Amino acid sequence: MSEYSSRSDPAKVEPESGTPVSSGGTPPPVSGYDRPTGVSGGDSGQPGMTDQAKEKAAEYGDKAQEQAEQAKDQAASGMERAAEKIRERSESMDGTPAQAGTKVAEGMETAASYLKEHSTTEMWTDLEQYAKEHPGQALAGAVVTGFLLGRILR
């Protein structure tokens, strides 16, 4: 007897995988244990892992939103304090510097009140709308902001 005599007839073996072919001409069903490593066997733990990942992502998103709201409130308070100081200094001046100081202080107060009255989500929506309506100005603002942030973070 040959060493291959214990194997099934070569005509009844699938050519590429060597899987025995049943009498119907199709390979037998494959269980999840017969799959190569790294290939999922359907629902084996995947939905639970996906749900956990979604929960973690939502949790981190909520934390980021909360931190953004706190930063926004701090920025508004800082702008109000700066506007107050500018207004105090401009009162002691005369002429154009006084007018410029007053206008800067008013602009900062307006920005601070906007920050306090709107959520970060509303602000993001407003920013998107502005960029759609004024793409050139939005691009110029992004360039200036990027330049300033680059200089500050050096």
Phi, psi of 17 (to 5 degrees): -100, -15
Q: Check residue 24 and give its pLDDT.
A: 53
Question: Is residue 113's pLDDT more than 70?
Answer: yes
Report, as an integer, the average pLDDT of 87-99.
89
Question: Is residue 121's pLDDT more than 70?
Answer: yes
Report, as an integer, the average pLDDT of 25-49.
55
- CA gap 131, 125 in Å, rounded: 10
User: What are the pLDDT digits (tens) for 128-144?
Assistant: 999 999 999 999 999 99
